[in-house]
Amino acid sequence: MFGFIVRRSIWAVVLVIAITIVTYDLFFLIPTQPGAVGPRRAQNTSSVRESLDISGPVYKEYGIFLWRLGHGSFGRSWATDRNVNEVILEAAPVTLSLVLGGAIFWLFMAIPVGILSALRPRSMLDRLATVFVLIGISAHPVWLGLILSYTLGFKAHVFPIQGYCDLTGSAYGCNGFMQWFQHLVLPWLTFALLYAALYARMIRACVLETIGEDYVRTARAKGATSWRILRVHVLRNAMLPVVTMLGVDLGVWISNAVFVETVYGLPGVGKLLTAALSRRDLPVVMAIVVFVSVLIVVLNMIVDVIYAAIDPRVRASTHSSGGAGRKDRARMPAPVGPIVSSSEQPA
Residue 30 has what pLDDT? 63
What's the average pLDDT block by block, 10 residues per block, for the chain (347 residues)? 78 86 76 46 49 70 80 78 85 87 84 84 80 77 87 86 79 78 89 81 85 83 83 78 77 79 87 84 84 84 78 60 46 41 40
Q: Output the DSSP codes for 125-191.
A: HHHHHHHHHHHHHH--HHHHHHHHIIIIIIIT--S-SS---BSS--TTS-BSHHHHHHHHHHHHHHH
Residue 328 has what pLDDT? 46
What DSSP character marks residue 44? G
Residue 170 has what pLDDT? 67
Helices (H), 166-311: 177-211, 214-221, 226-228, 235-248, 250-264, 269-279, 282-310
Q: Coil, strand, or helix at residue 55?
A: coil
**Residue 142: domain span:** 84-273
Residue 286 placed within a domain: no
Residue 16 placed within a domain: no
Residue 261 placed within a domain: yes
Q: Coil, strand, or helix at residue 287?
A: helix
Residue 254 placed within a domain: yes
Domain count of the fold of the chain: 1
The closest of 42, 77, 4 to 273, measured between CA atoms, is 77
For the chain, the first-to-last Cα distance in angstroms comes to 28
168 C-beta neighbours (distance < 10 Å), count: 9
Neighbour-count burial of 141, counting CB atoms closer than 10 A to its CB (0-12 exposed, 13-18 middle, 19+ buried): buried
Residue 316 placed within a domain: no
State the Cα–Cα distance between residues 83 and 275, nearest whole angstrom.
Answer: 16
Residue 224 placed within a domain: yes
CATH number, residue 103? 1.10.3720.10
> 269-279 and 84-119 helices cross at what angle (nearest 10)?
130
Q: How many CA atoms lie within 13 A of 245 on its CB side?
A: 16
Spell out the residues 6+ positions from residue 182 whose beta carbon is closer than 8 angstroms to its own. Answer: 159, 160, 165
Q: Output the DSSP codes for 105-138.
A: HHHHHHHHHHHHHHHSTTSHHHHHHHHHHHHHHH
State the Cα–Cα distance between residues 215 and 232, nearest whole angstrom.
Answer: 11
> 84-119 and 177-211 helices cross at what angle (nearest 10)?
40
Residue 345 placed within a domain: no
The closest of 69, 54, 78 to 22, measured between CA atoms, is 69
Residue 33 placed within a domain: no
